[in-house]
Each structure stands twice: as structure tokens, then as C-alpha cells.
A = this chain, B = another copy of it.
Amino acid sequence: MIIVTRAGITSDELDHIRERVEALGLRTHISRGELRTIIGCIGDEERLRGVPLLAIPGVEEVLPVLKPYKLAAREFSVAPTRVRVGAATFGGDAFVVIAGPCSVEGEEMTLQTACAVRDRGATVLRAGAYKPRTSPYSYRGMGEAGLEVLSRVRAQCGLPIVTEVLDPRQVEQVAEHADMLQIGTRNMQNFPLLTEVGRVHRPVLLKRGMSSTITDLLLAAEYIMSQGNMQVVLCERGIRTFETATRNTFDVAAIPVLKKETHLPVIADPSHAAGRREFVPALAYAAAAAGADGIMIEVHPRPEEALSDGEQSLTPDEFGDMMATLDGFVRAAGRRLEAAEEVEAV
């Protein structure tokens, strides 16, 4: 931690800052400049975390040196973490494609979509039983009945399931039916929920908050990991900016930044970033090219009848076309699409 003082600081103020830092067990090194004095704090920076140094008279700025996350940091694990969900592995050589409808709208449509995306190369099925909706008057999902549909669909089509959990009270129930728990963008800083999913033995798909920095995302992963669950996959899904041509602004650079900062797998959600299905394939290709470990795509048999997110859902055929082109980008990135056969063999 480096403390920068304001111009014209008094000796008493300087002594007081030094005493406060040293009382916390660190040593200080003072460089007096013409305009500002700099106090280097040497020792365990963690002890200063949360101490309101800016509130000490004479302090102008506080510059942290260490990253605030540990378990999620690249330094914590030399090897990339691999997260297995059914036959799919995030963070390995294969590029994982998660696909499926936004919501479980019924058993038939879910099974039909699941088989359609499996046959076109998806290896994990997505579908929401509990839906977070901005308006209280929008469709909020089938709830527990939807989870049961998902269990039956898995049995029939063979794909493992990722589904969203919204409420700490539902974590156990969702974990019974799902292979992977999704934390949505609006819950990335729902700390009781992060704590609960940190306590179950299920991989977690953690989506970036729409106004979260990359550091915030890694701290949210740290919440889960600090409870003992290290099976976290991060997901870039677009951030909120002034641009309205797309639903969110897809921060494709977050992919290489995260690959540098953490050992956790990183995937992307082009559907929510784009918000309109015509732009989804281009963002999927960009994600693969930028080094993502996978993508998650919304697919619906009849998008214009979807109960949620129809605007951004591909039809199965559009999804198939996208997969055919995606293959070239995945290969150029030195990866491979997992063959549907491997999954069916499970």
C-alpha cells in the first residue's frame, strides 16, 4: 500500500499516519517530494485492507499494490483450473458450448430443444426454472416444476444441466436437480447467495454483473471459493454503457484480461450481450477468437413465441449454422469443439 499525502502536510500529521500504519504491524518508508510526501507501507498489505486510510488527516490518495483476491488469482494455481460438468470440461482443450432455451416453458419444448442443440454440438443444456425479471409482471419461470422437467430431460437427452439459482433458500433444491448452478448478472454481488453456492458440491457458472469491473467479478468468485467450492467458471455477458445498439456492450477484452488474472475458466454469453439474434453469431466467433473456454447460447424452437428473451434466441437451424462456422474459429484458436458423440457415450 502506498499513501500519498496532500501538499503542505504538517510533521504532526505525518507522524500520525506513520503511527497508524505501524500500529497495524507494517513498516513505513517515507519519501519527501517537493509537493507530496509518499509513505510506502511494507509488510502484510492485507492488514491495511479495509482500514480507512483516506480518512486520516493529510492523506490525499491511497494506492494499493496487491490485488484484493487471492484464491482466484493466477498466482494461486500454476495450472489452469478445469471444471467438469457431465462429459464437458471447462478450461481444457475443448471449447464448450452450452445451449438451450432461456426458460423451461414445458417438458416437450425443453426436450425438443435439448436434443436439437445436442445434435448440433452443444454439450451442456441451459434453461431457467427460476427467472429474474426486471418487471414484476413478466414471466418468472416454472419454479420447482421446471427443475423436475430438467431432471427428466437430462435423463432422456444425456446433456448435463446448468440452471440459475436466485435465492439462498433454493440452493439445495436447485443443486439436487442441476449439474451446475448459475449465478446471474443481477446476483453477482448477492453475497448470501454466493456464500450458499460456495457450500455445495456443484460447479458454479458466475456471470459478470452488468456494471461490475473485472476485479469485482474476481472478488465475487473469491466469495464462493473462500467457502470451499473451487469449481467456478466465469462468464462475460456484456456491461452497461451509453451504447444502445446492442442490449449490453460485450467486453470481449475481459476474456484475455481474465485469462491473465485468474486460473479459472472463462466463457462468454453472446446472447445477452447482443440482445438481438442477428448479432449473436459474430459475438460467439469473437469470443472463441479472443481465447474463451466456451460460450452459452440461447436457442428456442420458435423464438417469436418464447416467454422470455425471444429477441435474442436462435432457432435450432440458426444455431447449427453458427456451430458450423464456429468450428473454424475454434480450430484457429488451437482448440476443438467437443464432439456430440463423446457426450452421448456417457
Contacts and interface: CB of A to CB of B under 8 A. Distances in A.
B33 A65 contact: yes
Contact of A133 (B29, B136, B191, B253): B191
Contact of A279 (B168, B256, B273): B256
A311 to B, nearest CB: 4
A157 interface: no
A55 B219 contact: no
A7, A166, A329, most chain B CB atoms within 10 A = A329
Interface residues of A, number: 107
Contacts of A278: 256, 260
Contacts of A273: 253
Nearest to A29: B31
Contacts of A328: 328, 331-333
Interface stretch (A84-92, A174-182, A239-247, A337-345): A239-247
A137 B282 contact: no
B139 A166 contact: no
A240 B137 CA distance: 27
Contacts of A256: 278-279, 282-283
A229 interface: no
Interface in A244-283: 244-246, 249-257, 260, 273-274, 276-279, 282-283
Contacts of A187: 190
Interface of A: 2, 4, 7, 20, 29, 31, 33, 35-36, 38, 40, 42, 45-46, 49-56, 63, 65-66, 68-69, 75, 132-140, 166-169, 186-187, 189-192, 209-211, 213-216, 219, 222-223, 226, 239-246, 249-257, 260, 273-274, 276-279, 282-283, 285-291, 303-311, 313, 325, 328-329, 331-333
